[in-house]
Structure 1
Amino acid sequence: MTVAIGNPMIRMPSQAKNGEIIEVRSLIMHPMTTGLQKDKAGKIIPAHFIQTVTAEFDGKLFMTIDWSIAISTNPYLAYKMRAQKSGTLKMTWKDNQEQSWTATAQLTVA
């Protein structure tokens, strides 16, 4: 059985007024297995989960989240940020098997 993994997505407005609060929504395909489940043959499925999510705006880190096995499959994350200048939002997801995925989105502030 092949499990879909990766394909991170960021959804947010591409334009905002200076000082406006915008919502950023993100999703990544990931099995988020705990290491406590068994497959149909009774073998333990190894733990495979996202450990860290970071967000940067124009190269400046503004958020780091540490996750564990308690997060559901294909985790969704939403947060709000204040639009103060135009730039690039970059989010990075890293898992416990040394894999990482990055997605970016542009914001133009008028």
Structure 2
Amino acid sequence: MSNIKIRAKASNGVTTVKSLMSHEMETGLRKDKKTGEAIPAHFIQEVTAKWNDQVVMTALWSSGVSKNPYLSFKFNGGAAGDTVEITWVDNKGASESATAEIS
């Protein structure tokens, strides 16, 4: 099971994509309350969205994005039954990917 939830809806030639990604998104600036040690930075660096294997959106993020980020965007094209895939890669090299069908 992926840690990305996606909903995509096409209307009048425009597809609206809404997604919720589970990630801790640590800035590297917080300290552990018990030890006083800095919590290492751990955040999503790049998010890519594809529609039928064609890239329609790329976002480059930094440590300033909140925990469990929500992302919404629109693109021209898309029809019911087409697929949308969202992939993220974090600063530690981990990645997640999920696909949804456009309604």
Corresponding position of 2:89: 94
User: Post-superposition shift, 1:17?
Assistant: 5.2
**What are the ranges of 5 or more consecutive residues in structure 1 without an aligned counterpart?**
1-5
Q: TM-score, normalised by structure 2?
A: 0.86
Quote the Cα distance in structure 1 between the aligned partners of 2:27 and 2:15.
33
Identity of aligned residues (%): 47
Q: Is 1:7 the counterpart of 2:3 in the alignment?
A: yes
Query: How large is the Cα RMSD of the aligned pairs?
Result: 1.7
Q: Residue 5 of structure 2 contacts residue 20 of structure 2 at CA under 8 Å; is this kept in 1?
A: yes
Q: Residue 51 of structure 1 contacts residue 94 of structure 1 at CA under 8 Å; is this kept in 2?
A: yes
2:102 to 80, 99, 107: 107
Give secondary structure in 2 for the equivalent of 1:12. Answer: strand
User: Post-superposition shift, 1:24?
Assistant: 1.1
Quote the Cα distance in structure 1 between the aligned partners of 2:21 and 2:91.
15
Letter in 2 for 1:25: K
User: Post-superposition shift, 1:18?
Assistant: 5.5
**What are the ranges of 5 or more consecutive residues in structure 2 without an aligned counterpart?**
none
Equivalenced residues, count: 100
Q: TM-score, normalised by structure 1?
A: 0.81
Quote the Cα distance in structure 2 between the aligned partners of 1:74 and 1:95.
13
Corresponding position of 1:50: 44
Corresponding position of 1:60: 54
Runs ≥4 residues deviating over 6 A: none
Q: Residue 46 of structure 2 contacts residue 60 of structure 2 at CA under 8 Å; is this kept in 1?
A: yes
